[in-house]
Structure 1
């Protein structure tokens, strides 16, 4: 009898546990409000990313990178990116204000110079993350166009629509490609409403002549963000190391 009572007690306990309502996932704070609170000059966010190129059959890891975005009160004031190409050639891009400085594998530089200066404030390379969630207008557009499920937002945005809201994209060479190109994306948010991961992909269409080898290819980038609001410092290289022209 005691064994029977004990067995029934255990069974009842199991049924009670099974019947207990599942706890709801913690609500995610408003991402735009959360970002606004972090946009303090001299502060920023760290990121790491991996880019791939695919023809739809084969996939090649093209670039990897890590760096920081430095904030202004409205968004991004500068960035410092250290990257490597598929064949392990190193490069670095530093952007301060309207000038970007490139060093390493991307350009062949004149003797005695280690940096090439050109227009800045935009996507640093073709294989960089095309979407910038540190821009208030860009984040707002991605949230509006996306569908939220738990802590993820999934959606699509065209090049034309992105150019209207994102200086990061609007200042890049990609604006000369097809306006109707669609970028698929997934944002992953922390409970505080901050972006922890961003995955994007698009198929290159009607590219400019100098990028003809990209036509039809799929470029996808996974970026992870950490340390939102921490202190960062992005500084331009010493002027004596910089050239504004490249060898012909």
Structure 2
């Protein structure tokens, strides 16, 4: 199965929530801002499921960490494990405005002695990544605005365009403008303190000419704990292929 997908601009299965938004008893945005301290962050694990209506399978599991600055995410380190051996384990490390990729096909395409490939992009590292980032205050505020909050969750839909306007994480993916109308459904689960403990999102995509849905289930823990993400050894980094 190919690992590259192309997002389509229509998703009939996902509908905009018509009920008016209500204020959650605990303010998630204020709760998040209180945790945005440089050198601190949050850890997460997630699973990625692919389905085409007749077949459904888990294609990836991931674990990672976001490191904060006072505005949101300043760095990330994500390890990706595929469900088969074609790609094996991959790793993506983002620092500043760049992302470094390791593993997967890299050993076969990078020059000898180089193990990390650097791209001038900071955001969702691949097409199966969680595009909803609950560590961004503006993103969280938009998800509440577009959704229906309760005491323990927020459920709704948001277009790629609206998400791109508030989320550096998604804007950094550089999705083509032709996909701006695509809708993503989401459910945020909140702790009693108003922090996000889980994000479930899904959108429809084309793969081999067929419609398929990619669903990502992410769980977050240790909000505000000390973390440290560092760029790889420059001697091991390249921007070239063989």
TM-score by length of 1: 0.82
1:67 paired residue among 60, 64, 83: 64
Paired residues of 2:26 and 2:151 also in contact (CA < 8 A): no
Residue 47 of structure 2 is aligned to residue 46 of structure 1? no
Residue 98 of structure 2 is aligned to residue 99 of structure 1? yes
Secondary structure, counterpart of 1:217 in structure 2: strand
State the match for 1:19 in structure 2. Answer: none
Secondary structure, counterpart of 2:175 in structure 1: helix
Secondary structure, counterpart of 1:137 in structure 2: helix
TM-score by length of 2: 0.84
Q: Which runs of 5+ in 1 are unaligned?
A: 1-26, 206-211
Residue 138 of structure 2 is aligned to residue 137 of structure 1? yes
Shift, 1:177, TM fit: 4.9
Shift, 1:120, TM fit: 3.1
Paired residues of 1:62 and 1:127 also in contact (CA < 8 A): no
Shift, 1:216, TM fit: 2.2
Structure with the largest fraction of strand: 2
Partner Cα distance (1:94, 1:233) in 2? 12
RMSD: 1.6
Q: Structure 1 residues 34 and 182 mapped into 2: Cα distance closer, same or farther (>3 Å)?
A: same
Paired residues of 2:147 and 2:156 also in contact (CA < 8 A): yes
State the match for 1:112 in structure 2. Answer: 113
Paired residues of 2:36 and 2:68 also in contact (CA < 8 A): yes
1:219 paired residue among 204, 214, 221: 214
Q: Structure 1 residues 132 and 158 mapped into 2: Cα distance closer, same or farther (>3 Å)?
A: same
Q: Structure 1 residues 194 and 214 mapped into 2: Cα distance closer, same or farther (>3 Å)?
A: farther
Paired residues of 1:28 and 1:190 also in contact (CA < 8 A): no
State the match for 1:188 in structure 2. Answer: 189
Could you list the per-position Cα deviations for residues 118-138 of structure 1 after superposition, in whole angstroms to 9, with x for gaps in the alignment? Answer: 023200111110110101110
Could you list the per-position Cα deviations for residues 5-38 of structure 1 after superposition, in whole angstroms to 9, with x for gaps in the alignment? Answer: xxxxxxxxxxxxxxxxxxxxxx852100000000
Partner Cα distance (1:178, 1:120) in 2? 19
State the match for 2:14 in structure 1. Answer: none
Could you list the per-position Cα deviations for residues 165-216 of structure 1 after superposition, in whole angstroms to 9, with x for gaps in the alignment? Answer: 11111121434452111000000000100000000000126xxxxxx63762
Shift, 1:149, TM fit: 2.8
Paired residues of 1:45 and 1:228 also in contact (CA < 8 A): yes
Q: Which runs of 4+ in 1 moved over 6 A?
A: none
Shift, 1:217, TM fit: 1.8
Partner Cα distance (2:183, 2:142) in 1? 14
**More contact order relative to length (CA 8 Å, sep ≥ 6):** 2
Partner Cα distance (1:157, 1:199) in 2? 13
State the match for 1:246 in structure 2. Answer: 241
Could you list the per-position Cα deviations for residues 86-136 of structure 1 after superposition, in whole angstroms to 9, with x for gaps in the alignment? Answer: 214101110000110000005332221110000232001111101101011
